Structure 1
Amino acid sequence: MKKIFQTVNAPAPVGPYNQAVAINGILYVSGQIAIDPKTGSFVTEDIQAETNQVMKNIKAILLEAGATFENVVKASIFLANMDDFADVNKIYATYFNKMTAPARECVEVSKLPKNVSVEISVIAHI
């Protein structure tokens, strides 16, 4: 049976989806963009700040489901500009233990919601 996870500590969904859904011990966290859940404002001063807010949003959802970044087994990173890869990777790396980091892909896309620069989704075991 699937279970829905929602927290006020991450941005509310802006469409017909949930922040996270779990089934059979696997948690699927929807793609997160850099919205500060306290203010509803976008964090866009630079790609590092934007990525950090995305990761904070993911962390809040993981915590709501009783998980941490150690539970993450797969991450998907979507960039509006692959030239931002090094800066995004620098912030992303601070949230994971290098020895137990998840599998992942990083792709450049033509456009992201609300014209943000980065969106990240994760899959975790719970």
Structure 2
Amino acid sequence: MRMHTRRNPSGNEPATYSQGIEVLGGGRTLYISGQIGVDEVGNILPGIAAQSDAVFINLQAVLKEAGMTFENLVKTTVFLTNRDDFPTFAEIRKAHLEHAKPSSTLVIVSGLVRPDLLVEVEGVAVASS
């Protein structure tokens, strides 16, 4: 299995995500439900920094259980409830993902399932069979 990044015609190369990722060959695909900012016992953490950190810790745990890492992540969808939280979220995302650059969509939403949730991230990962 090989993965190649693809660009749109603008030539824009975002720093923290890819415009597109093409997966060639067979492999396993993992669809990851939206991960939220909760600790190991399910408590919602206070603030965007703590919730964003927990989102990526939880996302990494799901990947690890499938024998994958952030390098296998090919797509994320991010839901933020406050546009002003984006810089903090982006900084934490960059720290967790390091060199991984999945394709990504970010949407500002009016709310999540619980009013104290500020961010949710779902993903798709692909690994060799």
- Shared fold, TM over 0.5: yes
Match of 2:111 in 1: 111
Distance, in Å, in 1 between the alignment partners of 2:86 and 2:42 is 26
Amino acid at match of 2:105: E
CA distance in 2, matches of 1:96, 1:54: 12
Secondary structure at 2:37 match in 1: coil
In the alignment, which residue of structure 2 is the partner of 1:102? 102
**What amino acid is the match of 1:51?**
S
Paired residue secondary structure (1:43)? coil
The higher-RCO structure (CA 8 Å, 6+ apart) is 2
- Cα deviation, residue 83, structure 1: 1.0
TM-score (norm 2): 0.73
**TM-score by structure 1 length?**
0.75
Question: For residue 18 of structure 1, what is the aligned residue in structure 2?
Answer: none
- How many aligned positions are there? 100
C-alpha deviation, 1:97, in angstroms:
3.1
Q: Aligned partners of 2:76 and 2:103: how far apart in 1?
A: 6
Question: Could you tell me which residue of structure 2 aligns to residue 57 of structure 1?
Answer: 58
Whole-Å Cα distance in 2 between the matches of residues 48 and 78 of structure 1? 15
- 1:12-45 CA-to-partner distances (Å, cap 9, x unmatched) read xxxxxxxxxxxx61110000111112x221111x
- Listed as ranges, the matches of 1:6-21 within 5 Å are none
**What amino acid sits opposite 1:28 in the alignment?**
Y
| Letter in structure 2 aligned against 1:35 | V
Q: Which has the larger radius of gyration?
A: 2
AA at the equivalent of 1:32:
Q
Identical aligned residues as a percent:
38
Alignment-mate amino acid for residue 87 of structure 1: T
SS of corresponding position for 2:107: strand
Deviation per CA, 1:32-86, whole angstroms, max 9, x where unpaired?
111112x221111x21111000110000000000000000011111000111111
Task: Give the aligned partner of residue 42 of structure 2.
Answer: 40
> How far apart in 2 are the matches of 1:97 and 1:54?
15
Aligned to 1:30: 33
Unpaired runs of 5+ residues, structure 1, are: 1-23
Structure 2: 5+ residue stretches without partners: 1-26
Moved beyond 6 Å, runs of 4+: none
